[in-house]
Amino acid sequence: MCGIIGYKGKRNASDILLSGLKRLEYRGYDSWGITAQNGEELATIKRTGKLSDFDGKLPSSHMGIGHTRWATHGGVTERNAHPHLSCDGAIAIAHNGIIENYQELRDELSAKGHVFKSDTDSEVIAHLIEEYAKEKSFKEAVRKALQQLKGSYALVAIRRNGSEIIGARKESPLVIGIGDGEWFLASDVPAFIDYTKDVVFLGDEEMAVLDRGLEIVDIGTGSPIRRPIEKVSWSAEQASKGEFEHYMMKEISEQNETMRQVLAHSDSEIMGIAKRINEAFGVFFVACGSSYHAALTASYVFSKIAKKHINVVYASEFPYYEDFLTDRTLVIPISQSGETADVMQAVKVAKSKGAKVLAITNVMGSSLMRAAHWSVMMNAGPEICVLSTKSYTSQVALLTMLAYASAGRLAEARAHIEKSVAEIERLTSAETKIKLVELASKLREKENIYVIGRGTNYPTALEAALKIKEVSYIHAEGFPGGELKHGTIALIEEGTPCIVIAPGDETHNEIISNAMEIKSRGGYIIGLSPENNEIFDFHIPIPTFGEANALLNIIPIQILSYYLAVLRGCDPDKPKNLAKSVTVK
């Protein structure tokens, strides 16, 4: 998954591209590059490593493209960094996606004399355009080249002596920013939100030509397409770190606000979705990672409150369920980015079987939003940190409301969530953070951390473990409280840390006895519970708010994970090998 950007206008393109790429680094940060066009000249700079390490000079111009990379084909090297150029150096492209037939295309182009400089799949696009440009206009050459590609792409392209910048997409995101006499193209809105909030979301297999005006055409037929100009609700401030050192802590600290955004969904909207869930014959939640954990949490609430069974399936596993799907099935993909390839594949399978698709996502105009029959926006604001924090609790809260609404008890859900807002403010206060820094300093050298919970706090244990491992690189595993003794308890030794999620609910006594099993084998017990307990070596007080408890219990672990990362010298916003949205299967 990578970030691409293009600019044409009155400002210095390199400045816009560099600042925009910094906003897109969460999409990939192995390497980056910029190509600036100055009439006859296409000047390209490429570097491995992070943009923030660059202190060199950039070419000045009024049009250019840029790219920040998460390596898929070809190692992390300068020559594999984008933008990629044609043989004659007259065409430059930046690409996000996977070209599945790149080897075949590369062989054909090599046979025609094209010389490749990188090991990437993307470079074939530059040479393919060059080939077609021998007989066609630049616009038609790009369109023809795109027709040959199998796989996914979001592309920006410019040429020497050209006045246009071209963007196109298929399954990977690309949004157009419309400024005053200037144009932006980017993978995501934060890249240019400082300059304009007027956007056009390109549809699948559409190409935009930005010159003196905006022209959008269908890639297959070339026929013109009209797309509305939409206003983005985010502010530039939301897409920046503000006074925080990292986006991760900023977004953790915003969770009281994201709860308010969840509560802002109208009763009619929530009840309308709940009605679709109640009328369906078979409902599937489909998601990955943290979004999957939110879905699993909700399945317990649907069972307990609405007496309804919801199937919860990893998106990558969902295609293996296709024989179970009917035209009465309701599939609910849950995805913060709305671009996760596994989720998009699951949606394709669902629709092929006639199932209806109701998406829950955080990104307006995302591929998932466009592919679904209906969609619900999380309205959590931009989440830049690779880790899902505020979007996770936003999903849990929204799904909890749907579960209660499904049982005709929406007002109760609202009450629980409203009560949780004040508690979230306490849990993200400086006082709590100081306590968690103390815990992080005790755990920073540990090699393994275990987390146990029961009921809705079993998925919380899974989410807790994911947070810890993906940002601090400490191995962590989450378990149902009753499962640890069926094998993994063999790994518990003196000092092995185990986080025990023990709310004051029906799971309390049993999870405490599971904690005792660990304690008796030397484990170091960290208790998340309303009251302290003699078996806790470290206590984090958390009140119990009925079914909204899963919202609260994860927050101290998010903060703990952040401090573990900082103390271990890891980058909380851009963990190694990860990207914010996984647009490869």
Cα angle: 566, vertex 30, 142; to 5 degrees? 145
Distance CA 394, CA 427 (A): 16
| Residue pair 491/475 in contact by the 8 Å Cβ criterion | no
Nearer to ligand AGP, 206 or 470 (CB): 470
Beta-carbon contacts of 43 under 8 Å, excluding residues fewer than 6 positions away, are: 35, 36, 59, 61
Shortest distance in whole angstroms from residue 581 CB to ligand AGP: 5
Nearer to ligand AGP, 362 or 456 (CB): 362
| Tally of helices (H runs) and strands (E runs) in the chain | 16, 24
Shortest distance in whole angstroms from residue 137 CB to ligand AGP: 38
Phi/psi at 108 (5° precision)? -60, -45
Question: What DSSP character marks residue 78?
Answer: T
Q: Indicate the residue whose CB is closest to ligand AGP.
A: 289
Residue 134 CB-half CA count within 13 A: 9
| Residue pair 211/163 in contact by the 8 Å Cβ criterion | yes
Nearer to ligand AGP, 288 or 540 (CB): 288
| Residue pair 444/453 in contact by the 8 Å Cβ criterion | no
Nearer to ligand AGP, 14 or 389 (CB): 389
Distances (CA, A) of 14 to 10, 36, 61, 422: 12, 7, 7, 44
DSSP letters, 361-400, are ESSTT-HHHHHSSEEEE-------SSS-SHHHHHHHHHHH
Question: What DSSP character marks residue 414?
Answer: H
- Which tokens go with 584? 């490869």
Shortest distance in whole angstroms from residue 580 CB to ligand AGP: 7
Nearer to ligand AGP, 42 or 343 (CB): 343
Shortest distance in whole angstroms from residue 158 CB to ligand AGP: 30
Find the catalytic residue in 250, 307, 580, 585: 580
Shortest distance in whole angstroms from residue 168 CB to ligand AGP: 23
Distance CA 188, CA 138 (A): 25
Nearer to ligand AGP, 68 or 337 (CB): 337
DSSP letters, 19-69, are HHHHHHGGG--SEEEEEEEETTEEEEEEEES-GGG--S-----SEEEEEEE
- Which tokens go with 470? 């993906």
Shortest distance in whole angstroms from residue 293 CB to ligand AGP: 8
Site residues (vs ligand AGP, CB under 6 A)? 288-291, 335-337, 340, 343, 386-388, 466, 470, 581-582
Shortest distance in whole angstroms from residue 251 CB to ligand AGP: 11
| Residue pair 369/236 in contact by the 8 Å Cβ criterion | no
Alpha carbon distance, N-terminus to C-terminus of the chain: 11
Find the catalytic residue in 2, 288, 498, 570: 2
Q: Is 87 a catalytic residue?
A: no
Nearer to ligand AGP, 13 or 554 (CB): 554
- Which tokens go with 99? 């070209």
Cα angle: 151, vertex 156, 160; to 5 degrees? 130
**Furthest-apart CA pair in the chain: how many Å?**
80
Nearer to ligand AGP, 1 or 185 (CB): 1
Q: Is 2 a catalytic residue?
A: yes
Distance CA 143, CA 156 (A): 12
Per the DSSP assignment, residues forming a β-bridge with 376 are 360
Shortest distance in whole angstroms from residue 289 CB to ligand AGP: 2
Shortest distance in whole angstroms from residue 333 CB to ligand AGP: 8
Distance CA 116, CA 379 (A): 44
Nearer to ligand AGP, 33 or 338 (CB): 338
DSSP letters, 416-454, are HHHHHHHHHHHHTSHHHHHHHHHHHHHHTT-SEEEEEE-
Nearer to ligand AGP, 178 or 371 (CB): 371
Residue type, 188: D
Shortest distance in whole angstroms from residue 332 CB to ligand AGP: 13
Q: Which residues are catalytic?
A: 2, 580
